[in-house]
Structure formats: C-alpha cells, structure tokens
Amino acid sequence: MHRQPAPNERRPETIATGEPVRCAFCGALLATTGPDGLRILRSQLEVLIGGAEHATFVCYRPGCRRINRFDVGSS
C-alpha cells in the first residue's frame, strides 16, 4: 500500500522545473526560473516571485557570500 504525500511535502517535479540560477562565483543553486517566475526553495521555505525585472541574491554558502544580480524578465 502506498502512502499519500502530505499537502506540505514538496514533490520532486516542483523542485526540478525551470532553468537553474546559480551563483556566478561558486556555482551554488540559488533559484530556478520558469514560466511562473523566479522560484526559491530553502528547507521548508518556498518563494515564487512573479513580475520582477531583476533579483539580487547573497550566496548562502559561508565560504562565498557574494552578491549576485540576475535579470528575471524582459519588460
């Protein structure tokens, strides 16, 4: 018998969709972009940003912590 996933469990297809946005310095995965917008996943946090022209991230890796700016959409 298969267990039904809880509503708050993330599914692999949700995580894997979109183009990866990586740190330009260390290559860490910061987010993904897709037709819905910019998606950030960290632990139990999931953020979807739509309608932004650009995004600025500070890399989460302790040895990096560099600022990355990405153009999200073309307006």
Average pLDDT over residues 37-46: 89
- 53: closest CA among 37, 40, 68, 31? 37
pLDDT confidence of residue 40:
92
Question: Is pLDDT at 67 greater than 60 in this prediction?
Answer: yes
Q: What's the token pair of residue 38?
A: 């910019």
Average pLDDT over residues 41-45: 88
Instruction: For the chain, give the percent of residues with pLDDT over 70.
Output: 73
Lowest mean pLDDT among 6-10, 34-38, 46-50, 61-65: 6-10
> CA dist 15 to 20, 24, 29, Å?
10, 21, 12
What is the C-alpha separation between 6 and 25, in angstroms, rounded? 37
